[in-house]
Structure 1
């Protein structure tokens, strides 16, 4: 799990503690959302947590989480502290009007309508007036095409905005498949040669670049949108920096064996912070 306990950004990794990546596996969330996003609205800091690990575990940029909570470098947090995630939905409380108030409001509205309605006028009969009246009646009888509700349009647009056109991060044979039940099977291991190009699987922003997460070696994490992150581990050399925007297919690192028993790329896709099977997202053609 790449999102467990990052020791710090590139400038602080040497002084911050490096912790085991499995140490956040026992954490339990508080309230969750109802829109398919199961991330908690808040998180209570446990022993061994770091802000970097909490943010990445829940699919956020740690710098954003720090800003939302007023936490400044070196991003120190304390056991029992509540960390909130700003884009969690807020509860809206609607207080109904009292019956008397509703009646008064309705009556006031009716009175205002009566006062502002134009008075009916009798017009002298003419052929022109009759044609105008007929035209008005016909126009009222014509069916008006129903328009898609605004919230439906916005929903479709939001869904389209969260899609990612994925591409394979490198070429080579998949030597280890995704296994959600396994602590080390949160993605794919792809074999290759040292120095082989590692490419961004989709456009986005680099939210982590460094070697502070034990078990992943030299690691790059890209945030593609509010929904998806991707991770690229065991690199020989990293070519991008935190905060940098990248395009799909851009070279971000060179394959290596840092903190691994062989040369390979460990690749993960996370949806709302939860590891998902990359094979369900990547195209069948690896080229």
Structure 2
């Protein structure tokens, strides 16, 4: 009698250990710093990240090789300093994460994505293809072939005057899609920073860590420009600015030296500003 009972007890113990090993728990702290009950965290799918205790948005951006504005825009984050343990974040560009679609246009008109269910039934959307009562799918006309677009879309002509240099200093760092989403222009603290093109100020502040005092200008439905590390901001949100208008004074806020970090973003994606700025 003892041997069967011992075998059953051993089997139950092995099953419990295997079940616990498939989950990861992380302690959660509330705003008062008091530890709360552990929260079970499942592994996030590719292109997404589940926030763990002690992590910051800037640290997550560096972990995945993306910029802080990327994470803010992709996840429609209103306060970059407030993320929560267990929160799931997109860490890849829109359209590259399976099961995500563009759903909003936050600061600067950048499209953001949000996870969606794998079928339309959860949202009340009827699938496009349904089997009829007879058990045969309706005939589908072949889709006409559309020529693939050019790999590199030509930039607006610099001669048209659509863009101008935002500062007069020397170029000290160029565009690199992996490590530098814009260009860095050197100078002295207090040097003028100009609007590279006419538009509306959609952000002016220092809420994004790593960018210091920052200005974002929306030019149209496609393009935004970004001006970071300023010493003094001379415009506020909702201001309309003209091309060449002084919008800030160059500085070193959250930077190792006085410089202007300048970006041009097309539909939320950073592009090389040197393809848009006139030759010097």
**In the TM superposition, what are the counterparts of 1:203-214 in structure 2 within 5 Å?**
203-214=198-209
In 1: Cα distance, 2:269 partner to 2:209 partner: 19
Give the alignment partner of residue 260 of structure 1, picking from 239, 247, 255.
255
**Which protein has the larger Cα radius of gyration, Structure 1 or Structure 2?**
1
TM-score (norm 1): 0.50
Residues 8 and 212 in structure 1, CA contact (< 8 A), matched pair in contact too: no
Name the counterpart of 2:166: 169
C-alpha offsets along residues 51-88 of structure 1, whole Å, 9 cap, x if unaligned? xxx724xx5179xx9xxxxxxxxxxxxx9699xxxxxx
**Cα drift, residue 27 of structure 1:** 5.5
**Of 55, 60, 73, the match for 2:106:** 55
Match of 1:4 in 2: 71
Q: Aligned match of 1:42 in 103, 116, 121?
A: 103
Determine whether 1:190 maps to 2:239.
no
For residues 100-155 of structure 1, give each alpha carbon's deviation from its aligned partner in whole angstroms, at most 9, with x where no partner exists: xxxxxxxxxxxxxxxxxxxxxxxxxxxxxxxxxxxxxxxxxxxxxxxxxxxxxxxx
Residue of structure 2 equivalent to 1:104:
none
CA contact (8 A) 1:30 1:40 kept: no
Conservation of the 8 A alpha-carbon contact between 1:207 and 1:243: yes
Whole-Å separation in 2 of the counterparts to 1:197 and 1:25: 34
Inter-partner Cα distance in structure 2 for 1:257 and 1:212: 16
Contact kept? 1:61, 1:207, Cα under 8 Å: no
Is this contact kept in 2: 1:232–1:265, CA < 8 A?
yes
CA distance in 1, matches of 2:220, 2:170: 28
Aligned to 1:237: 232
Map 1:122-133 → 2, pairs under 5 A: none
Secondary structure of 2:109's aligned partner: coil
Residue-by-residue CA offset, 1:11-46 (whole Å, 9 max, x unaligned)? x96xx7267xxx7533653899xxxxxx95426xxx
Equivalent residues in 2 for 1:25-174, closer than 5 Å: 25-26=91-92, 28-29=94-95, 40-42=101-103, 55-56=106-107, 60=109, 165-174=162-171
Higher share of residues assigned strand: 2
State the SS of the aligned residue for 2:193: strand
Which of structures 1 and 2 has the larger relative contact order (alpha carbons within 8 angstroms, sep 6+)? 1
Check the 8 A contact 1:238/1:253 in 2, yes or no: yes
Checking the alignment, whether the CA contact within 8 Å between 2:263 and 2:273 is kept in structure 1 is yes
Question: Equivalent residue for 1:132?
Answer: none
Secondary structure at the aligned position of 1:5 is classed as helix
Question: What are structure 1's unaligned runs of at least 5 residues?
Answer: 33-38, 44-53, 66-78, 83-92, 94-158
**Is this contact kept in 2: 1:169–1:201, CA < 8 A?**
yes
Tell me the TM-score normalized by structure 2: 0.51
Following TM superposition, by how much is the alpha carbon of 1:178 offset from its aligned partner in structure 2, in angstroms? Answer: 0.1
- Gaps of at least 5 residues in structure 2 are 1-66, 84-88, 118-127, 129-155
Which residue in the other structure is 2:81 paired with? 17
Q: Matched residues in 2 for 1:8 and 1:261: separation?
A: 29
Which structure is higher in helix share? 1
The alignment of Structure 1 onto Structure 2 pairs a total of residues equal to: 166
Distance 1:256 1:272, change over 3 A: same
Cα–Cα, structure 1 residues 246 and 226, in superposed 2: closer, same or farther, change >3 Å?
same
**Is the 8 Å Cα contact of residues 61 and 223 (structure 1) preserved in structure 2?**
no
| Partners of 2:222 and 2:266 within 8 A in 1 | yes
